[in-house]
Structure 1
C-alpha cells in the first residue's frame, strides 16, 4: 500500500513478471520438443538405413565389407542382367497375389462367421490368435520338420493311409514346395486379416440392417449394397498391409526352403539376402528396388483411401 497524498492511499497492482527466455523459446518451438524423440527414431531407424542402402548400391563393396570406390549404376545393370531375376520376379508376383488373394477371401469368410453368435465362438476366436502369437519362423520350421522326407509326420500319415507308396520330398522341388509355402503364408496371415475385417463388420450400425429389412432388401442385396461398401476402409487396410507383408515376407520361405532348390522358390526379398554372399552392393541394389515397390504400394493405398474418403462425404 503506497501513500500518494495525506490521508489517501493507492493499491499498487504488480504486473506479472515478463516470461523467461526459456519459456518464450519453448512457446516458439510449439510441439517440436515432444515430437523430437519420434523424429530422431525415424531418422535413425528408417531414413539413415535407406540412405546407406542407396549409397552402398552405388559402390564397389566386397563380401568383407571393403569399399573399393564408386560403381555408379553398374550394380543395377548387373542385377537386371542376372538370368535368375526374371523367374524370381515372376514367382514374387504369383506368390504375393496368390497369398494375399486367398488370405482376403478366407479371412472375409471367417470374419463373417465370427461376427455371428454360435456356441464356442469365444474359443474359436482365441484359437485363431495362435498362428499370430507364435513366431513366423518357428511356424515355418515346424512345417519343414512335418514335411521332412525321413522323419516327417505327414509322410508317415500318408504311408499309413496307403495314399503313397514311399516317402516324398515335399520341399525338394519347386513344384511341390510352392503350394506348401503358400499354405503356410496364408495360415500365418489369417489372424491379423480376420480380426481387421471383423472390426470393420462390428463397426456397421445395426440400424442400417434394420432399415434395409424394412425396405424389403434381400440378404444378397444387403450384403452387396451395405456390408461391402461399409467394410471397404477395413478391407483396404487389410489388403495393403498384407501386400506389403507378403511381398517382403522372409521367414516363411527361408525357414522352409531357403529359396531353393537353387533360387526356384526365392522371392525378391530372399534373393536379395542370398546375393549378399556374392556381392553386397548388388544385394543393396535389390533392396532399393524392393523399397521402391513398397513405396508405390503405399502411395496407391493413400490415393485409394483418399478417394474413398471423398466418396463417403
Structure 2
C-alpha cells in the first residue's frame, strides 16, 4: 500500500512562507532607504535636466535638450573639464603611489609601528571642513605659515598667494586633496599586503628572485583586488570632492581652480541660479564616472589563462 502524505494545512503554509521571506524582510528597510536617498534624487536630477526652471525655482515646462546645449556653450566649460581631469589624474595617481609606498613601509616590523599606524588615522578622522580651513590659513599670503617657513629658509623672497594666484591655486588644493586621501588608501593597500603569504615570499627568495621581481610577480598580483578597490573608491572620493576645494577657494573670482562639482554648485546656487543647467552637468558627471569605473574594472580585473580555462576538471 502507498502511504499518502497529508497536505500541509494553511498554518504550515503560512509558516513556510514567513520563513522564506526572512531575507526580503531584512533587506526591505535598507532597500527603501537606498531608494529614498539615492535612487529618487538621481531620477529627480535626470528629470530636472530636461525641464525649464526659472531663477526662483518655478517650473516653466519641458526644455528638451536646451539645458545641455546651454551648458555646452559655456565659456568656462573647457577650463573646468581640464581642471577636473588634471585634478583626478594627479590626486588619484599620487595618492595611490604614495599610499602604496607608505603601506609597504608600514607592513614591515619596526619599533613604534603601532603608533605610526594610529597617527595615520588623524587626517582621515578629522573633518574635511576643519582640515581645509587649517590649510587655508597655512596658505594665506600675508601671515601664512607656509610663506613664513619658505621665506625663513630663503626659498622664496616674497609671500605667495597660494590659493588666490591662478598659477598656483589648483596645485595648492591638489596637495590638500592628496593629504586627505592618503590615510584611507594606505589602509586599503596595507590590508591587501597583509594577505600575501609569507611562505610564498620565502619560496621566491629561495628560487633566487630579487626584491623587485618578487614584488612584481608575487606581491602585485595578490594586491590587484585591493589596488582596484583603492583606485575606484579614490576616483569617487576625489571626483566628488567639494569641501576641500570650496572651503579653501571660497568665492574667489574666476574658475581657475573649479572642478565640475564646484562649478555645478556655482551654476545652481550663486550667480546663475540655473537649476536645469546644473542638473544637466550632474547627469554628465555621473555618466563620466560610470564610464571611468567600467574602464578601470576591465583593465584591473584578474587575468585568466585561456589554456587553463579551456581545460576541464582533472580526472
TM-score, normalising length: structure 1: 0.88
Determine the structure 2 residue equivalent to 1:117: 109
Determine the structure 2 residue equivalent to 1:82: 74
| Cα RMSD, aligned residues only | 2.2
Determine the structure 1 residue equivalent to 2:3: none
Determine the structure 2 residue equivalent to 1:287: 282
Determine the structure 2 residue equivalent to 1:7: none
CA displacement at 1:18 relative to structure 2:
4.5
CA displacement at 1:30 relative to structure 2:
5.6
Determine the structure 2 residue equivalent to 1:4: none
Which sits farther off after the overlay, 75-84 or 176-185? 176-185
User: Aligned in 2, Cα 1:17/1:132: closer, same or farther, shift over 3 Å?
Assistant: same
Residues 170 and 176, structure 1, Cα contact 8 Å, conserved in 2: yes
Mapped to 1, the partners of 2:56 and 2:158 lie a distance apart of 45
Pick aligned residue for 2:172 from 176, 180, 183:
180
Pick aligned residue for 2:211 from 206, 219, 222:
219
User: Aligned in 2, Cα 1:61/1:214: closer, same or farther, shift over 3 Å?
Assistant: same
Pick aligned residue for 1:56 from 38, 41, 48:
48
Mapped to 2, the partners of 1:161 and 1:110 lie a distance apart of 27
Mapped to 1, the partners of 2:102 and 2:7 lie a distance apart of 68
CA displacement at 1:304 relative to structure 2:
4.4
CA displacement at 1:303 relative to structure 2:
3.6
Residues 98 and 182, structure 2, Cα contact 8 Å, conserved in 1: yes
Mapped to 2, the partners of 1:258 and 1:51 lie a distance apart of 30
TM-superposition CA deviations, 1:83-141 (whole Å, max 9, x none): 11011001100110001111111011101100101122111111111110101121111
User: Aligned in 2, Cα 1:145/1:213: closer, same or farther, shift over 3 Å?
Assistant: same
Pick aligned residue for 2:302 from 284, 295, 308:
308
Contiguous gaps of at least 5 residues in structure 2 = 1-5, 310-315
Larger Rg: 1
Determine the structure 2 residue equivalent to 1:143: 135
Kindly indicate whether residue 284 of structure 2 is the aligned counterpart of residue 299 of structure 1: no
Determine the structure 2 residue equivalent to 1:101: 93
Determine the structure 2 residue equivalent to 1:235: 227
User: Aligned in 2, Cα 1:259/1:197: closer, same or farther, shift over 3 Å?
Assistant: farther
TM-superposition CA deviations, 1:177-201 (whole Å, max 9, x none): 1221111100001101111111111
Which sits farther off after the overlay, 70-79 or 221-230? 221-230
Instruction: Say how many residue pairs are matched.
Output: 299
TM-superposition CA deviations, 1:215-266 (whole Å, max 9, x none): 1212221111101111111111101111121111111111111374401110
Mapped to 2, the partners of 1:61 and 1:26 lie a distance apart of 48
TM-score, normalising length: structure 2: 0.88
